[in-house]
Structure 1
Amino acid sequence: MSGPQIHPSAVVEDGARFGSGCRVGPFCHIGPEVQLGDRVVLRSHVVVTGDTQVGEDTVIFPFACIGEVPQDLKYSDEKTALRIGARNRIREHVTMNTGTAGGGGVTWVGDDGLFMAGCHVAHDARIGDRVIMVNGAALAGHCRVEDDVIIGGLVGVHQFVRIGRGAIIGALSMVTHDVIPYALVQGPRGHLEGLNLVGLKRRGVGRADITALRAAFQMLAQGEGTFQNRAQRLSDEADSPYVRHIVEFVTPHSDRSYLTPGQG
């Protein structure tokens, strides 16, 4: 296993740790608490600072700034952290901040994500695996994004919003409410348009589960009672694991209200 390859123009502060096969390109700046996993690549002009760990085989492109302090006026220089998983692609000008004491202290990014140019991940966000954030998308503080979510270009997600597994958010939307799993959201003031059928089919979800999801969506959209009441009734009939995941997402307490069918 080879040691790190560090360009002579890079600034690496004492204490930084490197896995085998790391490559640090020209004019990068690596802080003293940074840990880079095996085969991490920093292309050039990358800043990685703070208590930041980057998982193996992740590639970070020029002018990204990873692990800086949160953009939160309540932050008072307490020790917080950023944890990034394996095999992520973090493109040009992406920013990811550490957490805050009030939000648990850690910002989490899962594995196999693609963060396109100009994206922002704010303090205390938690992002699952295989998430795609398209150019210019921004997550505010304390957001939760489950696995297999696609967030379109120039989307803004309000603080504390949760986005359920397999959902897709169309470009230019502003999302201020929780998004149920497998949903399709679009429009300037994001509204719940339907199910992310294309994403479900691409992941090989069977016809029976898609049919069950369609029926569940109709119940949530048109049933009697409040949205929470309809979700609770749905739990009594949920044979599909995909429908059960929607129920499990909706029934607990949330800091935001839910984006419901027909709501803009």
Structure 2
Amino acid sequence: VLGAIPQDLKFIGEKTTVEIGDNTTIRECVTINRGTQDKWKTVIGSNCLLMAYAHVAHDCILGDNVILANSVQLAGHVEVGEYAIIGGMAGAPQFSRIGAHTYVAGHTVINKDVPPFIKAGRTPISYAGVNSVGMQRRGFSSETINQVLEVYRNIYNKGLNTSQALDFVEQQLPACDERDLIVSFVRESKRGIIKVFNKADLDES
């Protein structure tokens, strides 16, 4: 069902749309709701694959070459960067952000923002390393992948808080588009980014 009325009680019949790019495949029983007054549209990029029973709610923005596996559920206002892959039955609440070139494991609850170029999974959702295989497949050089690895070593493995890590990355690591994309994504996060897995968090839950 494409372009259905948003499942949002604030919707009052305003004229909104769904925009779908070229060469995007939408399989059986997928639902994509049109936008609300927030963005006035829901956008699916080009060359995407939305597998069976996936749901994309109102005002979501999906970049090009995104893959949603079976039964992925995206609530309203979710943003997904280009080349992101989200595994089957994963779900993202409203206003979640999933960065470009990420891989999110199936059945994951995406309740924190997922920065670009990484893998994420577990419960609670946690950083699982850089998506180096995905980056290689998309033509990133070994030098660029190593630069991304170094950025995330400072964010996740050096014992720094997020602000300290970002300051260090900007001041000490060589500038490149990938570094700047990561830094801007993390700085703009309103709900916070995912953390490294901590067994204590699992025990408490």
TM value normalised by structure 2: 0.91
- Report the 3-state secondary structure (helix = DSSP H, G, I; strand = E; otherwise coil) of the residue aligned with 2:42: strand
Of residues 5, 13, 18, the one that matches 1:82 is: 18
- Alignment match, 1:222: 157
Q: Contact conserved, 1:213 with 1:243, CA < 8 A, in 2? A: yes
Q: Contact conserved, 1:172 with 1:188, CA < 8 A, in 2? A: no
Per-residue CA deviation, residues 85-136 of structure 1 (Å, 9 max, x unaligned), is 11100000000001111x2211111110000000000000000000000000
- Alignment match, 1:159: 94
Higher relative contact order (CA 8 A, sep 6+): 2
Q: Contact conserved, 1:144 with 1:163, CA < 8 A, in 2? A: yes
Of residues 124, 137, 145, the one that matches 2:72 is: 137
CA RMSD between the two structures = 1.5
- Distance apart, 1:144 and its partner CA: 0.6
Whole-angstrom CA distance in 2 between matches of 1:238 and 1:248 = 15
- Alignment match, 1:106: 41
Of residues 96, 103, 108, the one that matches 2:32 is: 96
- Distance apart, 1:224 and its partner CA: 4.8
Q: Which structure dedicates a bigger proportion of its chain to helix?
A: 2
Amino acid at match of 2:187: T
Whole-angstrom CA distance in 1 between matches of 2:186 and 2:95 = 15
Within the alignment, does 1:251 sit opposite 2:187 as a pair? yes
TM superposition outliers: structure 1 runs of 4+ over 6 Å = none
Q: Contact conserved, 1:164 with 1:179, CA < 8 A, in 2? A: yes
Whole-angstrom CA distance in 2 between matches of 1:187 and 1:170 = 8
Larger Cα-atom Rg: 1
Within the alignment, does 1:235 sit opposite 2:170 as a pair? yes
% identical aligned pairs: 33
Aligned residues: 198
Whole-angstrom CA distance in 2 between matches of 1:184 and 1:234 = 20
The gaps in structure 2 that reach 5 residues or longer are: none
